[in-house]
Amino acid sequence: MARPTRPGELLPQERQREILQRLRSRGRVMAAELAAELAASEDSIRRDLRELAAQGLCRRVYGGALPLSAAVAPLKQRRGEQVGRKLALARKAASLVREGQVLLIDAGSTNAAIAAALPERMGLTVVTNAPDIALALIEREGFEILLLGGRIDPHIGGAVGAQTLKELQRVRADLCFPGACAIDAGTGLWGFDSEESLLKRAMVEASGETVVVATSDKLGMLATHRIAALDEVQHLVVEHAVGRQARAAFSARGVRVHRAEPAAD
């Protein structure tokens, strides 16, 4: 393939702009990662990095590049324990997504992390009721974004209520990420808020498969509002530390359990 610019592809300058943006928001970029996300060969990525470094816009390191020590602050914030764990979960969850799928992503900080971890240039369509998730995806590229409207609940950070429910019924998704719920191997999926649970229920119904991403404290927990039975949940993403027994309890009931990588740094 020796074509400089193909219809759906990125121009070199666009790619470099994209790299700089990632550099700012993530604090680091890796060549192989960029190659996959920007649909270019590692060689082209390396060429870009070389140019950017020559312009003094980044610092090259073995494996990728770092910002010019300017935007270290966001990286430090990211180092927070909770955030590190969520990042690992999010990465695992994002890895379940396949080319061209339609994703239904609920509001919530864990789901926001998942959205941030989604690969670009895979022709993904994201339907969400959360402004922060929509905003994060706008600032990246290559996503078809569908916003669910309605009255916003400030505590949830997204639209809920009848209007949202109604809009949701016009959507069919492949994969659904209902936000923070409690999940129990015997009784299924539970939510804490009435209206919120109603919406999550509708999301599960509107999707082919459902992925539950659960921090450890949500495992084996019950709550007041029933969202779905366990056989409506196809995937469960848990933290690395979750023991074999706990995982087996779910996989025995037909749920595919995915364990996140141990939080690196």
Contacts with DNA, residue ranges (CB under 7 A): 1-5, 10-12, 15, 30-32, 40-44, 46-47, 50, 60-64
Residue with smaller CB distance to a second copy, 134 or 176: 134
What is the maximum span of the chain, computed from C-alpha positions, in angstroms?
59
Q: Taking a C-beta distance cutoff of 8 angstroms, is the pair 180, 189 a contact?
A: no
Binding site for a second copy (CB under 8 A): 4-5, 7, 11-14, 17, 21, 28, 30, 32-33, 59, 61-64, 66, 72, 74-76, 129, 131-132, 134-135, 138-139, 141, 143-152, 154, 157, 159, 163-164, 167
Residue with smaller CB distance to DNA, 34 or 93: 34
Q: How far is the CB of 32 from DNA (least distance, A)?
A: 5
What does the DSSP assignment read for 43-107?
HHHHHHHHHHHHTTS-EEETTEEE--SS--HHHHHHTSHHHHHHHHHHHHHHTT--TT-EEEE-S
Q: How far is the CB of 54 from a second copy (least distance, A)?
A: 17
Q: How far is the CB of 14 from a second copy (least distance, A)?
A: 6
Length of the chain: 265
What's phi and psi for 54, nearest 5 deg? Answer: -65, -30
User: Which one of DNA, a second copy, none is in contact with 17 (Cβ closer than 5 to 8 A by kind)?
Assistant: a second copy
Indicate the residue type of 172.
Answer: R
